[in-house]
Chains A and B, each alone.
Chain A
Amino acid sequence: MTKVVLPELGEGIDKATVSYWYFQEGEKVNEKDDLVELTTDKATFNLPSPCPGTVLEIFFHEGDTVNVGETLAIIEEEQ
């Protein structure tokens, strides 16, 4: 299982808001597919899937605030 973690986004940025999930729980993703879009200030940014697999669990939903380093979702890697 691979965690999708909110990475460092720049100096002084400690959180972002989930604005769009491209995939739902149970759906298959390819590595580097756009997985989730987040927003900070006047910018949106996309996190790609770190691996191919299935979205096992999503912990933060659209409108939720996520801190840098927190896990957004878990991907069950393809065998």
Chain B
Amino acid sequence: MQFKVLDLGLIEFKAAWQIQKEVFKDIKNSRLKSALILCQHYPVITLGRQADKKNILLSENELEAKGIEIYEIERGGDVTYHGPGQITAYPIFNLNYLKKDIHLFLRQLEKVVIDLLSDFGIMGLRYPGLTGVWIGKQKLASIGIAIKNWITFHGLSINIKQGDLDNFRFIRPCGMDIEMTALEKILNANTDINDLKKLLIHKFRDTFPISAVGGSAFGGGSRNVPRLAQETSLV
């Protein structure tokens, strides 16, 4: 599937949320087929539709003092944290061009992360009922999406830098007592976020190839996809 890539760099959650909505409108009005927004966020906690505020363990004032914003948003899922050491990806994909299957799309997002990890020799895991990507019993990537008119928005975040993991202690991620991990913690080495973003774009293209009508969440994608997708950087 053809999608435009927008790399917003480090951006406040609210600004990226607004851009998601604008891109969504362009897709709904057939001005654009689909888009993949990539960014990093300043520290922010978001609450999905299934969120229980008790899963935020500090008061709003305490979070404000730490420079962490809070937003209630329309995605599925409970509470999560985003920070500059994560890659956050918002696939604004028109499932009318793929397959109208909500769970398949969630599994495909997991596959994108699992494929990225496999390039580092790391085995990412899925657990039924625990959407996201796990390394053993620790969670590396969180997923929460919304769909209107079969166009998706919101998406996934992958923990890259260890520094951000500290801020997860202010919440119960996804409403559970789980430990989060990060790619650099597993590798015990530094990585380059921009290089990882490029790799992630490739994994999205593999999972959602231009010729895709439906696609698989489990099998390997084509490695020889023509690179017709446009790439635009707003940075």
Please determine whether A45 and B102 come into contact, CB atoms closer than 8 angstroms.
yes
A13 with B103: CB separation less than 8 A: yes
Q: Which of A35-43, A51-59, A70-78 contacts B (4 or more CB under 8 A)?
A: A35-43
Is the Cβ of A42 less than 8 Å from the Cβ of B145?
yes
Tell me which residues across on chain A come within 8 A of B143, comparing CB atoms: 42
Kindly supply a per-residue 1/0 record for chain B positions 137-149, scoring 1 wherever the CB is within 8 Å of any chain A CB and 0 otherwise.
Answer: 0000001111111
| Chain B binding surface SS class | mixed
B26-85: which have CB < 8 Å to A?
48-50, 74-77
Interface residues on A, range: 10 to 19
Q: B49 to A20, Cβ gap below 8 A?
A: yes
Alpha-carbon distance A37/B101, docked complex (angstroms): 16
B87-143 with Cβ < 8 A to chain A: 99-106, 131-132, 143
**Shortest Cβ distance from B100 into chain A, in angstroms?**
7
Nearest B residue to A48 by beta-carbon distance?
A: B149
CB distance from A70 to the nearest CB of B (A): 17
**In the complex, A77→B76 CA distance in Å?**
31
A57 to B85, alpha carbons, bound, how many Å? 48
B94 to chain A, nearest CB (A): 14
Give the nearest-CB partner of B153 in chain A: A44
Q: Which of B49, B100, B105 has the most A CB atoms < 10 Å from its CB? A: B49
Inter-chain contacts of A8 with B (CB < 8 A) = 100
**Contacts of A37 on B, CB cut-off 8 Å?**
49, 74
Residues in B with CB closer than 8 Å to A39 are 49-50, 76
In the complex the two chains form, what is the Cα distance from A10 to B68 in whole Å?
Answer: 37
- Selected A-B contacts with CB under 8 Å, 25 pairs: A9-B100, A9-B102, A10-B99, A10-B100, A11-B101, A11-B104, A12-B103, A13-B103, A19-B49, A20-B49, A39-B50, A39-B76, A40-B102, A41-B103, A42-B48, A42-B77, A42-B144, A42-B145, A43-B76, A43-B145, A43-B147, A44-B76, A44-B145, A45-B148, A48-B149
> A residues engaging B (CB < 8 A)?
8-13, 19-20, 34, 37, 39-46, 48
Identify 19 new A-B residue pairs, CB closer than 8 A, beyond the known A42-B144, A43-B144: A8-B100, A9-B101, A10-B99, A10-B101, A11-B101, A12-B103, A20-B49, A34-B148, A40-B102, A40-B103, A41-B103, A42-B143, A43-B75, A43-B145, A44-B147, A45-B146, A46-B146, A46-B147, A48-B149
